[in-house]
A and B are shown apart, each in its own frame.
Chain A
Amino acid sequence: AQTVTQSQPEMSVQEAETVTLSCTYDTSESDYYLFWYKQPPSRQMILVIRQEAYKQQNATENRFSVNFQKAAKSFSLKISDSQLGDAAMYFCAYRSVTNFGNEKLTFGTGTRLTIIP
């Protein structure tokens, strides 16, 4: 079974600065998907960024980028130019590609990000 570990329960960053959230995972599969989701106090899970394991290029979405290290099974999220609206819980998630009919997401325990004005 796959596991996802987020070792930073809480992080804080000054507004306009850069912060990196860590995520590691364990799997025996060679192809899979990785995601970062954001959950503000409204509870709505919002997709931040997605990475396919077969792609060597790191995914980027505006101020959000990932550092995907497949051999190390590491998938960190970098937020540049942090804004007050970035304050939320951030969850790393894993999804298998190979098991049709078993497409669940496996989540880490989350990192609470605080933005300091």
Chain B
Amino acid sequence: GAGVSQSPSNKVTEKGKDVELRCDPISGHTALYWYRQRLGQGLEFLIYFQGNSAPDKSGLPSDRFSAERTGESVSTLTIQRTQQEDSAVYLCASSFAGLATQYFGPGTRLTVL
């Protein structure tokens, strides 16, 4: 596709519910990244995929967070038993392997009530 796409654009959920956020990277990009941006703050790294494997999961804040990638394409970030502190914008980025520049999607704004 023309760029990285993410869905949904906005998600409102109740505390304790599970949510799934989706990322479609640029076609041919083998590297995929998830970041979290809390209100008024910079981006925090969550997880990095090279192909379908995740060599760096160091940023996942708790075991309620998980992510997978299939077909070296779409990735899903799942947050179980959501908490109000999970409210943030979740951004996905992709790049060609070994190349530094990451291209970002528009993000999903998650609000946990």
Contacts and interface: CB of A to CB of B under 8 A. Distances in A.
A3 to B, nearest CB: 11
B24 to A, nearest CB: 15
From DSSP, what is the main secondary structure of chain B's interface residues? strand
B89 A43 contact: yes
A80 to B, nearest CB: 23
Contacts of B55: 101-102
23 contacts: A4-B42, A33-B100, A43-B89, A43-B106, A43-B109, A44-B104, A44-B105, A44-B106, A45-B91, A45-B104, A50-B100, A52-B100, A93-B43, A97-B100, A101-B48, A102-B48, A103-B33, A103-B48, A103-B56, A103-B95, A103-B100, A104-B59, A105-B45
Interface of A: 4, 33, 35, 37, 42-47, 50, 52, 91, 93, 95, 97, 101-110
Which 3 pairs from chain A and chain B are nearest by CB? Answer: A45-B104, A101-B55, A107-B42
